[in-house]
Structure 1
């Protein structure tokens, strides 16, 4: 079960003007489950994306990058679950293109105006015939308020749909933001086995969209890790339909730009944290905060070293305050001139280590009390500067091994 993840609030999954969503059962991998989603955009939408850093990226990731690079206005997204279409070579690209061609013909648009996305099992041929056969049902289902069905339709090993919304006033107009994501395993920053789609009816200049999507990813999805594996298919797409009627946002540094980014970042962080809360086999949600670094980069190194460590994660699962594992992770994080006598370590309000050694007032029962909680904050002070960074992770349980051992069954 997810760790303190509430079900989506339907009243806050706002329909976005200029956008419709349709979901169908195409039998991509399993019969009787939602696995095909189309997102239809009216003319005038601004679109950008951020994709995996894995060099062995999937066919749809390659196509998305190519289609966005044409500079054409995006008019549709085509999303399937059950098959990642990764590790499939030229055949995977050809199959992905066939699905886009079929949808383009039905919508009377150019194939390059479609962004394809896939998630699921790697190195199996994409069943493009089933996807194409399911397009009519997905198009017939298309409506503005289909966010929850879409959140369900992109799930793989997720145990719960992930969807959040927010509103903000820009130029006297109420602007709506809604997003969905999926992901539970093979999750690591830069990015993870995740799909994320965030849309707003705000008016945003297309020239600003790349910066907006990068900053949203950096503040949310690039701050989560479940198991340290960077996937082949990660994609975050940000859409502005330009229908809210206010003066277009030209900069993220102005009042409207800051307000819009803050609201969208709230949605993005909720979606990213939902992935960790629903991490495969997770029983605990862990915030790792590193303060006192000389740079943000070295704070991130330490935070990721802690968050990725199987020894740390299994200790949290067992509620075992074997906290030397955290100090060891700090030490191997890659800060060559780190002075261990400056290190401070806290679990929530419990001061565990000071000046690089055990705090004389620390009691193991206090550490165990915190580690039994379902939500825990690990705070490390480096004593080197003023930089600070935060990442979110979860524990490792027996269930994680079971899920991944049986994934293809």
Structure 2
């Protein structure tokens, strides 16, 4: 037997949402059922559950989602203030008691605390409770929402651990930096002074006592003087490299053309001796750390002069332009020469600290110059690339952000 339209049972979709009956307006009861179904669905989707507690009664009314939330079947257990307190982490009971007192005083509550579900798993809960008032605006209860924030708390704990580890590493880095500064002081004072004395005494012996020495003895002293000079150069370069770790000078507008003029003036004797030609396109004024870029120019030109081809005068070319790398505008400074070059397989190695591609007897130097240039670029958030070809020269491309 068919039922009339008014007596038909409400229809629901596969998600439990009440569907309207065709051809007529919903009744008040239907609208209430629809509202409850939508609220239930929203809670499940958001990973939340709701509850109500009315003053004068210890019973707490859970929504169906709340039972699932804590691992129970609907109505499997009686929920009241005592059962909530018993499942709360002992250390967080004062938080729960404070929230209850706030609610009884007619204040909205919000708290984060730990409770245990049916299986004894510890869950971090974020609870928001809003006071329910009667027609006389008197507080009669609380409507609350619980949210499971266990994963969030675990992530915050992991982040806190990582931050502590980072702080420890920063302290260790600061300690090592202080040791480096102490070494720099020692290298610039305590080590250089005895080296100067050794070099001076050897030179005095060669000058005043050469006739009393055999040729082999004189050769030993000459080699000792050369070794001392090499050690002094190494110490000076190490000090220069260490100073680049110190962020003491902010970038200032610096005339790169004037900087190049100053450096070529300092290298005038070697440039003249080798009949070197230095060509430069227009160099702008840019915000850089001046003393660092002076070291960069000096080491780059020194490198080009040192590794020049004896069969032809050195030609060193400098060019500046603005380029785009990806989507980032960059300064680009290119320095190339026509020297002896190097095999492309050494493009990356040549920039390393103490890296030498040629024997000390053939070319002087400590192997730190290009490492200093790379550190200058790093301190300007930039990069340096080395490209070489045997017998044709080398090209160095430096890029750093436009700010």
Greater share of residues in helix: 2
Q: Looking at both structures, which has the greater relative contact order when contacts are Cα pairs under 8 Å and sequence separation is at least 6?
A: 1
For this structure pair, what is the TM-score category when the shorter chain's length is used for normalisation?
under 0.3
TM-score (normalised: structure 2): 0.20
TM-score (normalised: structure 1): 0.19
